[in-house]
Structure 1
Amino acid sequence: MWWIYALLSALFAALTAIFAKIGIKGMDSDLATAIRTVIILVIAWGIALFKGSAENIGGLSKTNWLFLALSGCATGLSWIFYFKALQLGKVSQVAPVDKLSVALAIILAALFLKESLNWQTAIGALLIISGTVVLILPKHYFGL
């Protein structure tokens, strides 16, 4: 079942890039990020309230709060840089390079969370890294 949610995440991430590229035309990318964040805030709290999840907020530990706050900071910075990259570059270049985060997450999970790294995951990460290098290197490096 997890893979259905992962595929839906990928679909909506792709739509995010397309919608954002159209939406940021002629405006400051930081303002666009701020507007997007308010929309996400309303949706996320609406879902949490509708499902009754918000009632559990008092049971969160200091560790929960600390790492959720750090995650929120990382997400905010990621969005700010993503929107700036979209404003300056093509979606077909920015979105795939942004997905380098997948390979970085695999590496960081192995290092810090002690998650096992099998050959399939390692090769997948290397392919993502290789694809990113191909996308960001200037064409003249490939003799084109």
Structure 2
Amino acid sequence: MQMTWLFWALASAGFAAITAILAKLGVADVPADSATLVRTVVILVLVALIAVLGREGFSPGKIPARSYVFLILSGLATGASWLCYFRALQLGDAAKVAPIDKLSVVLVAVFAAVFLGEHLSLPNWMGVGLIALGAGLLAWRG
């Protein structure tokens, strides 16, 4: 099987789903911020090992300053997202929190169009609308 972007995107979705369930179980008896710290340390160690020992290697000097700025900002946004996500999981049902969290898909489409100049077709925008509608229906208390 060729490892395309679709393979990796589906793998990401699968791991994200597992993450939501495991995180919900993990935050049951600890503060959300502490749970986020433990998770982050595990991720840091895992990704550091992959980066250092992997076939691509890690060459910090080869990363342009501009890339560092955006990667650092992305890391800060990720940290904020995780802190909010764990707090939401602590307070709500995973089956309701996860779909609302996935409204990020809708926001990415909007932000990509506005800030990156990406063009989505009418069917693409309809899909974005359906994702938003679906997230709302999943989170609805009906």
What TM-score, normalized to structure 1? 0.91
Structure 2 counterpart of 1:10: 13
Distance (whole Å) between structure 1 residues aligned to residue 92 and residue 58 of structure 2: 42
Structure 2 counterpart of 1:105: 108
Structure 2 counterpart of 1:142: none
Structure 2 counterpart of 1:89: 92
Matched, 1:114 2:117: yes
What TM-score, normalized to structure 2? 0.92
- Structure 1 ranges of 4+ moved more than 6 A: none
Higher helix share: 1
Query: Deviation at 1:132?
Result: 2.7
CA contact (8 A) 2:97 2:139 kept: no
Aligned pair count reads 139
Task: Mark the runs of 5 or more structure 2 residues left unpaired by the alignment.
Answer: none
Could you say what secondary structure the match of 1:55 adopts?
coil
Distance (whole Å) between structure 1 residues aligned to residue 121 and residue 110 of structure 2: 12
Matched, 1:69 2:72: yes
Distance (whole Å) between structure 2 residues aligned to residue 104 and residue 55 of structure 1: 31
Distance (whole Å) between structure 2 residues aligned to residue 114 and residue 97 of structure 1: 25
Matched, 1:26 2:29: yes
Query: Deviation at 1:99?
Result: 0.5
